[in-house]
Amino acid sequence: MAVTFDGGVIIGSDSRATRGGEEVSSKTINKLVQVHQRIFCCMAGSLADAQAVLKTASFQLNLHSVQMEAPPRVIAAASLLRKLCYHNKDELQAGFITAGWDPQKGPQVYVVSLGGMLISQPFTIAGSGSTYIYGYTDAKYRPHMTREEGLQFVTNALALAMGRDNVSGGVAHLVVITEEGAEHVVIPGNKLPKFHDE
Amino acid sequence: MSSIGTGYDLSASTFSPDGRVFQVEYAMKAVENSSTAIAVRCKDGVVFGVEKLVLSKLYEEGSNKRIFNVDKHVGMAVAGLLADARSLSEVAREEASNFRSNYGYQVPLKHLADRVAMYVHAYTLYSAVRPFGCSFILGSYDVDDGPQLYMVDPSGIAYGYWGCAIGKAKQAAKTEIEKLSMKDMTCREVVKEVAKIIYIVHDEVKDKAFELDLSWVGEVTNGRHELVPKDVREEAEKYAKDSLEEEDDSDEDNM
């Protein structure tokens, strides 16, 4: 998931990868990929497809940034991903959340869906665990949160999703992106907030 | 000023002994034969003015436009071979459109100017093709970079400017443009000055009838490149004609 707050964005995910829903193949993978200094992407769908697409898009984004002699815009990263997902939709099963900060528009969150739709949202959730937290995020999200409120929002949401979804779990990876840069926060499973029945 | 290249000027793939590519220089001569086009970048936008010579009374009014729209926020004024200029405007349009499609935002003018300049430059490398016989001025306005103005000539160089002129009266026009303090002026003020400059440099003796094409892009148009609206045009032309008459009167007094 990713959410904008006053002055930045927070992008977060769990760290579990499963094989066929039966075996946890990794407890600690990082699904948050840095495509540029202030732009991160979250992968969804087939991780193999997503990694391949991200590698290509990262390269194109870097080249673009060098040509423009300026840090790339978040919309540029999202548009490159969209182009790849849309024009190869027959072969790929990959979706992304792109979140970042740029000097032109400030904090932004974009969603690129499986077929190649690109939209901008103030916050978004995705992945199998997201179904359990639509109610929570819809109720608790407020525009112009502070950084601390944003962190609390994401931490709680991830904890609730990881608590109910069997294929989500592990640690919570969060990245806070602002004008100053990107800061990675990792919260181990046992330090996540506990809710009813835990 | 004109020198004959005898022998070294047959193709663009040949240098002369003193290091010149004559075909490119001849292309620039083609631009100098065309009527003048100027553009001025001011505080909040860019204004284009073209002296469009009317060669025949049978021409439909407004035909053979020399100012093109390249993208919503980019305008292009040309001088030289109009057919070459038209095909380059299509190239510029495709570049701008591809950029928007790939990256999701409007192309920054510096990048567009560099891309089209690279294309123009490619035609100066081979003997199988001739260089483009036109220069053009690109201007844009967007909220992030503000007003921008670039000029590309047949050699394939793009430079950024605050004010520039191309065509037969470019020297006279440049002198007039240099007198303006455009960094402190708004589009509305500059459009009158641009009209005045075109009227000043227009040669009444050699070329008779002409149409003045004015266009602008800036805060005043919300970032869209458009032809100047009729009332602003008329005001600008009136200002231009009145200023010329004043100068004529003052000349008579001195006599």
Residue in A79, A80, A104 nearest the CB of B144: A104
Q: Provide the pLDDT for residue B2.
A: 54
State how far the Cα of A106 lies from the Cα of A150, in Å rounded to an integer: 16
**pLDDT for residue A17:** 85
Q: Which residues contact B217 (CB under 8 A, 6 or more apart)?
A: B45, B46, B73, B74, B75, B139, B140, B141, B147, B223, B224, B225, B226
Instruction: Pick the residue of A64, A74, A119 with the most B CBs within 10 A to test the interface with B by mutation.
Output: A64
| A121-130: average pLDDT | 93
Amino acid A196: pLDDT: 85
- How many secondary structure helices (H) and strands (E) does chain A include? 4, 12
In the prediction, which pLDDT does A115 show?
92
Closest CA of chain B from A81, distance in Å: 9
**B102·A83 Cβ contact <8 A:** yes
Please give the span between the terminal C-alpha atoms of chain A, in angstroms, as a whole number.
Answer: 23
pLDDT of B40 reads 97
* Residue among B102, B108, B144 whose CB faces A79 most closely: B102
Gap from B142 CA to chain A (nearest CA, Å): 11
Q: For an interface test with A, which of B103, B107, B142, B148 has the most A Cβ atoms less than 10 Å from its Cβ? A: B103
Residue A130 has pLDDT above 80, yes or no: yes
State the first-to-last Cα distance of chain B, in angstroms, to the nearest integer: 35
How far are the Cα atoms of A64, A68, B96, B233 from residue B102, in angstroms, in the given order? 10, 14, 10, 37
| Mean predicted confidence (pLDDT) in B17-33 | 93
Contact between chains at A76 and B103 (C-beta distance less than 8 A): yes
Tell whether the model's pLDDT for residue B4 goes beyond 70: no
The nearest CA of chain A is from the CA of B49 a distance in Å of 29
pTM of the model: 0.89
For residues B78 and B147, give the distance between their C-alpha atoms in angstroms, rounded to a whole number: 19
Interface residue B97 vs chain A (CB under 8 A): no
Q: Cβ separation of B105 and A75 shorter than 8 Å? A: yes
CA dist A65 and A76 (Å) reads 9
- Quote the CA–CA distance of A2 and A109 in Å, as a whole number: 7
d(CA A132, CA A136): 8
ipTM of the complex: 0.87
pLDDT of A18 reads 86
pLDDT at B252 over 80: no
Which of A35, A56, A73, A96 would you mutate first to test chain B, the one with the most B CBs within 10 A?
A73
Question: How far, CA to CA in Å, does B57 sit from each of A194, B141, B193?
Answer: 86, 36, 28
Determine, for residues B104 and A67 on separate chains, whether the beta-carbon distance falls below 8 Å. Answer: no
- Over range B1-13, report the average pLDDT: 76
Q: What is the pLDDT confidence band of residue B5, given thresholds at 50, 70 and 90?
A: low
Model pLDDT for residues B184-222, shown as the tens digit of each residue: 999 999 999 999 999 999 988 887 788 999 999 999 999
Contacts of B144 in chain A (CB under 8 A): 104
CA dist list (Å): B236 to A72, B54, B140: 41, 20, 21
B90: exposed, middle or buried (Cβ count in 10 Å: 0-12, 13-18, 19+)? exposed
A124 in Cβ contact with A133 (< 8 Å): no
What pLDDT, on the 0 to 100 scale, is given for residue B196? 95
Question: Which residue(s) pair with A39 in the sheet?
Answer: A36, A100
B101 min Cα distance to partner chain A (Å): 8
Helix (H) or strand (E) holding B113: helix B109-122
What pLDDT score was predicted for residue A96? Answer: 95
Strand ranges, E, within A103-162: 106-112, 118-120, 123-124
* B108 CB within 8 Å of a chain A CB: yes
Distance from CA of B114 to the nearest CA of A (A): 10
User: pLDDT tens digit string along A137-196?
Assistant: 999 999 999 999 999 999 999 999 999 999 899 999 999 999 999 999 999 989 999 998
Spatial separation of the C-alpha atoms in residues A160 and B244, rounded to whole Å: 78
B160 CB near a chain A CB, below 8 Å? no
DSSP code at position B108: P
pLDDT of residue B1: 46
Partner-chain residue, chosen from B104, B111, B144, that has the shortest CB–CB distance to A76: B104
3-class DSSP state of B38: strand
Q: What is the distance in angstroms between the Cα of B48 and the nearest Cα belonging to chain A?
A: 26
Res A1 pLDDT > 60:
yes
Given A68, A75, A82, which is nearest B111 (Cβ)?
Answer: A68
Each residue's pLDDT tens digit, B116-156 = 999 999 999 999 999 999 999 999 999 999 999 999 999 99
**Residue A31: φ, ψ to 5°:** -85, 0
Kindly report, residue by residue over B171-186, the tens digit of the pLDDT: 999 999 999 999 999 9
- Judge whether A75 and A100 are in contact, CB under 8 Å: no
Average pLDDT of chain B, as a whole number: 92
